[in-house]
Amino acid sequence: MQSRWLGRDIISIRDLSRDDIESVLLEAKEIRPNPDALRGKVVASLFFEPSTRTQLSFGSAVERLGGQVIGFSSGDVSSKAKGETLSDTIGVVKGYADAIVIRHPKEGSARLAADVADVPVINAGDGANQHPTQTLLDLYSIEKYIGRLDGLSIGMVGDLRYGRTVHSLATALTRFKKIKLRLISPPILKFPASHLDELRGLVEFHEQEELDLRGLDVVYVTRIQKERFPDIEEYEKVKGAYVLRAKSVEEQLSAKSIILHPLPRVDEIHTEVDSLPQAKYFEQAEGGIPVRMAILKLLLLGESK
């Protein structure tokens, strides 16, 4: 039987069906450290933009499966600083590694890398576009804490214009049934129209400015992405637009609801929220390990027999 995973790229969540998403989540639930699984395999971790969680959890996932990681955590310490093109970098690294994990500030860079490489390429975030493995771990957390992925009311809060995690997650939610999305942002940070078109007819959505959490199963808070604003004065107008406080959570959210955030946080969730039962963002980040182990295993070894 031909594997649907072996050698595949993960560039956009659009490339994954519901069945694909569910198979990654199932693999993640069952996966355990195994020093023999990826023995002899090398994963290149090419981060042209800062990262804590994605880079370290991919590295940890590779190590837990017995593989090795090579790479860099800034374009400044690669030959990009000498003028090398991304195509040339990937053209060389594909000969050094069995898979490539890439983060880059430019939209479309991961797709370009996949076109050049003949080994699996995993998009670890390309500009404001996509962050598909973050979405898989977001769905893993939602299923873990809420118990289902259909019939959910989800509020997305903050920078819906530049935040790649909400773009990927909203697309993924079109694969599930009876989803209601509340899109909460300042007017200049609304969801891009092209992304809304993609949701139309598949999920029920409503845009608003007011931070109203009532009736939500999941509150997905995002940082305002200062680094993506072409004009710093525009950023100054919206920074600190939303700060989630314990009082609002206690008054408006059920004890069974959850608060997620892809992190890093700046000030959009007050630290007083961290001790509330709804706060699951640090557990969410931990889910990056099993989910990324599952992805690496599927792409490098195929499905379990």
59 binds ligand CP (CB under 6 A): no
262 binds ligand CP (CB under 6 A): yes
**Residue of 64, 80, 94, 103 with catalytic role:** 103
Residue 258 contacts residue 219 (beta carbons within 8 Å): yes
Binding residues for ligand CP restricted to 139-178, rule: CB under 6 A: none
Write down the least CB distance from residue 4 to ligand CP, Å.
26
Residue among 94 and 132 whose Cβ is closer to ligand CP: 132
HSE-CB of 171 using CA atoms within 13 angstroms: 23
Other residues' Cβ atoms within 10 Å of the Cβ of residue 22: 15
Residue among 89 and 123 whose Cβ is closer to ligand CP: 123
d(CA 108, CA 126): 6
Residue 39 contacts residue 67 (beta carbons within 8 Å): yes
53 binds ligand CP (CB under 6 A): yes
Among 3, 17, 34, 52, contact with ligand CP (rule: CB under 6 A): 52
58: tokens are: 């991919």
d(CA 194, CA 303): 34
Among 69, 263, 276, 301, contact with ligand CP (rule: CB under 6 A): 263
Alpha-carbon distance values, 281 to 48, 260, 295 (Å): 25, 5, 21
Residue 103 annotated to the active site: yes
**Residue of 8, 54, 182, 222 with catalytic role:** 54
69 binds ligand CP (CB under 6 A): no
Residue 54 annotated to the active site: yes
- List the end-to-end C-alpha distance of the chain, in Å, as a whole number: 10
Binding residues for ligand CP restricted to 87-146, rule: CB under 6 A: 125, 134
Cβ-based burial of 97 (10 A; exposed 0-12, middle 13-18, buried ≥19): buried
The residues assigned a catalytic role are 53-54, 82, 103, 131
Summarize as ranges the residues that interact with ligand CP (CB under 6 A): 51-54, 125, 134, 262-264
